[in-house]
Every structure is written in structure tokens, then in C-alpha cells.
Amino acid sequence: MTRPNWADYQYEIYLNGMAGTRPRLPTDLTRLEELAEGTLGPGPYGYVAGSAGDGSTARANRAALDRWRIVPRVLRDVHERDLSVEVLGRRIPAPLALAPVGVMSVMHADAETAAARAAAAREVPFILSSASSTPMEQVAEAMGDAERWFQLYWPKDPEVAGSFLARARAAGYTVLFVTLDTPMLGWRPRDLDHAYLPFLHGVGTANYFTDPAFRQGLAKPVHEDPEGAVRHFLGLFGDPAKTWPDLAFLRERWDGPIVLKGVMHPDDARRAADAGVDGVVVSNHGGRQVAGSVGAADALPRVVQAAGDRLTVLFDSGVRGGADVYKALALGASTVLLGRPYAYGLALEGQAGVDHVIRCVLAELDLALALSGHTGPGSLTPGDLVRESP
């Protein structure tokens, strides 16, 4: 594993400036959204940027992170730093992974392959969505020997579920993320008002349409009746009838780490540990599922406490830069997933855009650690933060 000096990106940018070039994309990643709006059509833009209901959960995610404030320390020799962490039994060069984001071909023609390559080049784990627009085997190939993590939307049909797990294992994916907050899509007014859903046009169905078990359930082959195939996909994509004992099915068929994504309540974290899984992602799906929900960073401390040393706790929802990663780590997350910012980077500049986003987040994190007296994530504690009264 390489030990990059992430903060060097700052000097690289300034040195390029001396030679007359400026970064092609802003380094304040909150600015990417407005730029992406100009690139993506209204349907795709609304789909990526949008969230559930009135958007209150997406706002709560930002508000929760904003309320925590970093309290820097000085004179602690921070000249040499190492951002690597041990997570789920492997060492990764920084506490960051790319969150599973489906249907990337609506963002950029190079889609998942470009995002996965950008992540692999920095040794940042890429979590491939079940709903990718590129089959999992093809994305795996593009990643070389980098960490391959797979996200499962747990299909209603156990044959398809089993087939996805077998294919993912055969393609070299090692960690399984099971997303539990999306057995059906939330109420998303932007998509409803545009009457826009990518998979209605067959985007995001690549893993399904190439799957032998899925195809067996079709009356006619996909190319003869694409609409029928999409209807079949919509019918088995999620299963709102699942309960905790069903997890045994996955535990029996996956011998690597299993992480449940979308756990917000401490009691659910305890149940996850009882079920023998390895970790949870505290996440409200970037506010895309339940409006009026608690901000993810406000749910994090109680889940961390309930997890104790039984579960690895990861975090996402609302992270827009290195300072947000810092806060989530200080609150007890072991690794943070990045969602929309890299999707916008992809939309704007393909693989190079995703690389820029990764480097910005990690440079800012490295500098936030150094400038507050830390040489790595390991020494962060809740005592590095204070909470402003709401």
C-alpha cells in the first residue's frame, strides 16, 4: 500500500498556478452541484441532487455536521502523518470509500468504470451498486488489484440474490454492503414531477439483465420484450417483507465481511451485532428515503455506543469535504463514504473529476488533522469537537 502525502495536492495546485493553470473544477466541493446542473439534463440532475419529500433530511444531514465544531490543538509535532486505517480486516490508505451510487451512465458515458478506476488509482475502496449501469464483472476488471466492495439490493427472488452473491465473489469482490433503507424508493418529488426514473428506461439494470437466474424468470428474452424485463426488475428489486432472521441467508452465502447500510437506530445496531454481521453504515441514504428524518451525524454517537467493539461503524450522508470526514471520525466512525460529490465530479469530468474530488477531500482531511494536532485518524476522539447549541 502506498503512503501518499495527501496534503501535497494543495502545493501541486499552487505550483500549477505558477505555470498558469488553475484546477478545472472548484476545490470547494459544495460548488460542484450547481456546475453539474449545467451539464446534466433536468431529469438526471434532479435524480442525483434530489432527496425525499421537502428535502428536510438532506438539510438535517448538513445541519447536524455543521453543529459539531472542531477544537484545534497546537504544538504536537504533526510533520509526519499517516491517514491509513484498518477497517473490516484490511488496511486502506485513508478512512474514505466511494459510496454505492447506481445508474452512473446518466451522469457520464464512462459511468462506473471511470469512477472505479479513479478510486482504484488512489487505493480508495469503490463500492459497486447492484443497480450499476455496467455489469459487475466488467467493473471488477477495470479495477485491477484494488479493493472491490459490492453493494447488494437484496432481491425478492432468492435465486437472483444467490446468483448476485456468487457472481460478486467470483469477480473478486470481498466486502458485502447490504442496503436496508431502500426496499422501495422513497417519495421523491423532483423525480415524480419530471416523471423521471432511470431504470424505467433500462438504465441501472445491467447486473439483472445479464443474470442467468433473473433471465429465467422472464417470459421472453430481454431484447424481445425490454419493457417486460423492466417490469420484472421492478417486481423483484426490493423486498419490504424481509426481517432480521432472513440475514442468515446472506451470512451462509458470503464468507467475507458483511456490512448493513442504512442503520440509524442503536437498537438496530445491537440486532445487527446479534445477527453476526461485521459492520453497519450509519446513513439515511443522503436524505433520499425518509423526509423529516434525523440527520445522520446526530444518529452516529448512539450507534457507535451500541456497537461497542462488536461492530465496525461506517458513516455517510451529507459529507462534502475533509472537515466533515474529520467530524464523523471523531464521533466514532471508522471510515466515511462519499456520495453525491463524486457523482458530480464524474458528471463534470469523468475519471479525472472523481480523482479531483477524492484528492480534495483527503487533502482537506490531512490538513484538518495536522492543523488540529493529529498525525492520523487514530487519535481523534469526541473531545476534539464541541457541539453548538441548535
Ligand X SMILES: Cc1cc2nc3c(=O)[nH]c(=O)nc-3n(C[C@H](O)[C@H](O)[C@H](O)COP(=O)(O)O)c2cc1C
What DSSP string describes 136-179?
A: HHHHHHHTTTS-EEEEE---SSHHHHHHHHHHHHHTT--EEEEE
Q: How far is CA 269 from CA 97, 280, 340, in A?
A: 21, 7, 25
343 touching ligand 173, by CB under 6 A = no
Nearest residue (CB) to ligand 173, 96 versus 103: 103
Interface pick for ligand 173 out of 155, 204, 287, 318 (rule CB under 6 A) = 204
Q: How many beta carbons lie within 10 A of that of residue 20, not counting itself?
A: 6
Interface pick for ligand 173 out of 29, 52, 64, 103 (rule CB under 6 A) = 103
What is the distance between the alpha carbons of residues 95 and 259, in angstroms, rounded to a whole number?
16
Q: Is 285 a catalytic residue?
A: yes
101 touching ligand X, by CB under 6 A = yes
CB of 288 to ligand X, least distance (A): 6
In the list ligand X, ligand 173, none, the entry touching 110 (Cβ below 5 to 8 angstroms by class) is none
Whether residue 214 contacts residue 232, with contact meaning beta carbons closer than 8 Å, is answered with yes
Interface pick for ligand X out of 4, 102, 135, 376 (rule CB under 6 A) = 102
139 touching ligand 173, by CB under 6 A = no
In the list ligand 173, ligand X, none, the entry touching 51 (Cβ below 5 to 8 angstroms by class) is none
H-state helical runs in the chain = 8-18, 32-39, 42-49, 56-67, 111-121, 136-142, 158-170, 189-194, 206-209, 212-216, 226-236, 247-253, 266-274, 296-307, 322-330, 340-371
Binding-residue pattern over the window 273 to 312 for ligand X, x denoting contact by CB under 6 A: ----------x-xx--------------------------
Nearest residue (CB) to ligand X, 78 versus 115: 115
What is the distance between the alpha carbons of residues 176 and 149, in angstroms, rounded to a whole number?
6
What is the distance between the alpha carbons of residues 304 and 311, in angstroms, rounded to a whole number?
9
In the numeric block, which cell numbers belong to residue 294?
434525523
258 touching ligand X, by CB under 6 A = no
Interface pick for ligand X out of 147, 211, 298, 316 (rule CB under 6 A) = 316
Interface pick for ligand 173 out of 288, 320, 359, 374 (rule CB under 6 A) = 288
343 touching ligand X, by CB under 6 A = yes
Residues that bind ligand 173 (CB under 6 A): 102-103, 131, 182, 199, 204, 285, 288
